[in-house]
Amino acid sequence: MSYKSIYKLQNPSNESNIIGANDKIIALIEEVIGCEILLKQAEVKIDENDIQYQDLIINLFTFLETLIENDVNFGPRDIINIVQSIKDDKHERLLDLYLNKELIIINYSGKAIYPKSLNQQAYIKSLQRNEINIAVGPAGTGKTYLAVLYAVSQLRANNIKKIVLVRPVVEAGERLGFLPGDFKEKIDPYLIPLYDALDESLGSEHVSRLMEKGIIEVAPLAYMRGRTLDNAIIILDEAQNATTTQMKMFLTRLGFNSQMIITGDVTQIDLPSKSSSGLVEALKLLKDIKGIGITYFQKQDVMRHPLVYKIIKRYEAKENGN
C-alpha cells in the first residue's frame, strides 16, 4: 500500500483523545468512514486508493480538534453523528450545537441536559412553538425522553398543572384483564421508559408524591375517551400501536393551555394490520397544519450503544432489499 499524508493535527496532544482508550475511537472512525486511517506523530495518512475520503476525514479531524480545544467531550456515539453531519453538509450547525449548548433541564442529580443532535435540537424548538407535536423515528433517538424532560420543565415553571402519560396497550383485551392489580399496576410495565425519564428529572420519591396528588397521571389510551385536558401536557408514547379511531379520539382531547406530544416508530407496529396504525395516518393527514410540528429522527440520532445504530442500519438494508 502507498499512504498519503492528508492532515496534520493542530495540537499533537490531541492525538490520544482522537485515538481513544484501546483505540476504540479511531477504530470506529475507520469503520464508519470505510477506510484505514493511520494516525501517528500527529499526522493522518490514508491509502492513496481511498483518496475519495480525504475531505470527509479532514473535516472530521478538524471538528474533533475544535471540540477538544473547547473542552467538549465526545465518544463513539458522537462519531457516528458527526460523520453523518459532514456527509449531509450540516457539520457547521452541529459544531455550533456542541459549542453553544441550549439547556433543556437540570435533572434531579444536578446534571444539565442538552440536545445532542440537530434533530433533537429541532424537536425541542418544535415543542416550544407548537401545541401538538409528533416525533417519529427509531428507538433510542430521545423522542420519549426529551418529551418527558420538556414536560417536567414546563411543570417546574408553573406553565402547566398536570402531566398525563398515555400509552396504547396492544394486549388490551382479555390478557390485560387477567393481570393482577388496578389499572395503573396493569399498565405500569408498558410505561417504564416514561417513568425512567421522570425519575431522572424529578427523583423517584418526588414522582411518587406528584402521582399521589394527581399532578402526574398514567392512563391507558382507551381511558382518554370523553376527557378534555386543560393546563396539561399529554404524552402519547408508542403511538404506532394506536388505531386510527384511537388517534382521532386522542387528538380531540386537547384543551386550553395544553400540549400534546405523540411519539412512535412506524417500523415497530404491533397491530394486526400495519395499515390500521393511527400514527401512519396522522402523519399524512396532519402535515402542514399550523400549530402541529412533526419531527423525523434518523438512525444517526440513536443515542444508545453504537451497535444499536449498526443493527438498525442492517435491518434497513434488509427491508430495502440490500
Fold of 3-99: Ribosomal Protein S8; Chain: A, domain 1 (3.30.1370)
What's the angle, vertex CA 67, arms to CA 78 and CA 25, rounded to 5? 45
CA 107 to chain centre: 17
Domains 3-99 and 116-319 alike in fold? no
Q: How many CB atoms lie within 10 A of CB 92?
A: 12
Domain 116-319 has CATH 3.10.129.10: no
The residue ranges of every structural domain in the chain are 3-99, 116-319
Task: Note whether 251 and 259 are within 8 A (CB).
Answer: no
Place of cell 440536545: 115
Q: Which of the two residues, 306 and 34, has the higher pLDDT score?
A: 34
Average pLDDT over residues 215-242: 91
Average pLDDT over residues 182-210: 82
Q: How many CB atoms lie within 10 A of CB 97?
A: 20
How confident is the model over 238-277, as pLDDT tens digits? 999 999 999 999 999 999 999 999 999 998 888 887 668 9
Rounded to whole angstroms, how far apart are CA atoms 92 and 82? 10
How confident is the model over 8-60, as pLDDT tens digits? 999 999 999 999 998 999 999 999 999 999 999 999 999 999 999 999 999 99
How confident is the model over 205-223, as pLDDT tens digits? 999 999 999 999 988 888 8
Residues 6+ away with beta carbon under 8 Å from 257:
160, 230, 231
Average pLDDT over residues 273-297: 91
Give the pLDDT score at 219. 83
Question: Of 93, 35, 98, 33, whose CA–CA distance to 64 is shortest?
Answer: 98
> Per-residue pLDDT for 173 more than 50?
no
Rounded to whole angstroms, how far apart are CA atoms 177 and 71? 54
